[in-house]
């Protein structure tokens, strides 16, 4: 338990490290009142924060990103993308129905923001919350299923808070997405899948928002999306459950001396104190 508490403290530190560039984005928003400019600055700040978190993980904990960003399996990657797409299709009806209004202005700055929010921002968030924070907690869980679940929920809550949700449905949506992404990372030990889910989710909601009138006029899309989300989710769960080559988190063998982590001279667990 002491090692898990220590890991929790280290995860909080990584949260602060990853979020530190956002401070400069906030200062910029005070100087420049343009909403598109501020949104672009925030996306860039998240990406820089993710890179900073990955650097600290390697330098301080000897946990190298390249060992958690390996070539993905095509079938698993496809299922992750489809699950994310159909999940967000459902969310468009459940969460955003009463939020969307008007038409996108289509300006260059808005397009730049949408591209950044669908690419580098999700990458930064996943590096901070899943690769850095969640990895530390999963390693300290020593194979405990309960601690795995607690870790995923805690990191999902931190990720949700960072988005400043304004409604209960938005809180529920973010928590659900965070838990799904956390589970994918737990089972695969590959941040590529988590990033793929996040990028697909963001790109889907931003793209569908441009056609929200046509989408909401077709209520049946909600039920189709829900059915396909459940089907793809179940298949994804079953396929990932058979990934026998990635069990370091599940078995509790994910330590500094593990071949899934950066080699370390003293071959000791970072929480063996």
> What pLDDT score does 105 carry?
57
pLDDT, mean of residues 99-124: 78
Handedness of CA 196, 245, 141, 136 (dihedral sign): negative
**Cα angle 24-27-29, degrees, rounded to a multiple of 5:** 110
The phi-psi region of residue 74 (left if phi > 0; otherwise alpha if psi is between -120 and 50; otherwise beta) is alpha
User: Tell me: the pLDDT tens digits for 152-210?
Assistant: 999 999 999 999 898 899 999 999 999 999 999 999 999 999 999 999 999 999 888 88
pLDDT tens digits, residue range 54-108?
Answer: 999 999 999 999 999 999 999 999 999 999 999 999 999 988 876 665 555 556 7
pLDDT score for 53: 96
Q: What is the pLDDT of residue 244?
A: 63
User: Among 107, 110, 122, 106, which Cα is nearest to 40's?
Assistant: 110
- What does the block give as tokens for 116? 């950044």
For 212-250, how does the pLDDT look when each residue is reduced to its tens digit (9 = 90+)? Answer: 888 888 999 999 999 999 999 999 999 988 876 555 566
Whether the CA torsion 84, 90, 92, 98 is positive or negative: it is negative
Question: Above 80 in pLDDT, residue 260?
Answer: no
pTM given for the model: 0.88
What does the pLDDT read at residue 100? 62
Task: Give 19's pLDDT tier (boundaries 50, 70, 90).
Answer: very high
């Amino acid at each position: 338990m002491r090692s898990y508490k220590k890991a929790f403290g280290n995860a909080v530190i990584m949260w602060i490290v990853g979020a530190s560039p956002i401070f400069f984005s906030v200062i910029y928003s005070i100087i420049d009142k343009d909403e598109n400019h501020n949104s672009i600055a925030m996306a860039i700040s998240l990406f820089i924060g993710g890179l900073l978190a990955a650097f600290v993980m390697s330098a301080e904990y000897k946990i190298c990103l390249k060992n958690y960003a390996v070539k993905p399996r095509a079938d698993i990657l496809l299922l992750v993308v489809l699950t994310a797409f159909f999940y967000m299709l459902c969310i468009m009806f459940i969460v955003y129905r009463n939020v969307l209004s008007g038409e996108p202005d289509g300006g260059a700055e808005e397009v730049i923001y949408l591209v950044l929010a669908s690419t580098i921002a999700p990458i930064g968030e996943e590096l901070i919350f899943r690769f850095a924070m969640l990895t530390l907690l999963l390693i300290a869980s020593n194979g405990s299923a309960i601690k795995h679940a607690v870790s995923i929920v805690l990191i999902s809550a931190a990720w949700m808070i960072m988005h400043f949700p304004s409604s209960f449905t938005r809180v529920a949506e973010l928590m659900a997405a965070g838990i799904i992404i956390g589970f994918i990372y737990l089972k695969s030990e590959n941040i590529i899948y988590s990033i793929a889910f996040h990028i697909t989710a963001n790109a889907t909601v931003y793209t569908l928002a441009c056609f929200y009138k046509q989408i909401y006029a077709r209520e049946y899309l909600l039920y189709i999306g829900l059915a396909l989300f459940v089907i793809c989710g179940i298949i994804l769960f079953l396929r990932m459950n058979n990934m026998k080559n990635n069990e370091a988190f599940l078995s509790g063998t994910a330590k500094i001396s593990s071949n899934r982590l950066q080699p370390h001279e003293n071959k000791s667990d970072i929480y063996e104190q």
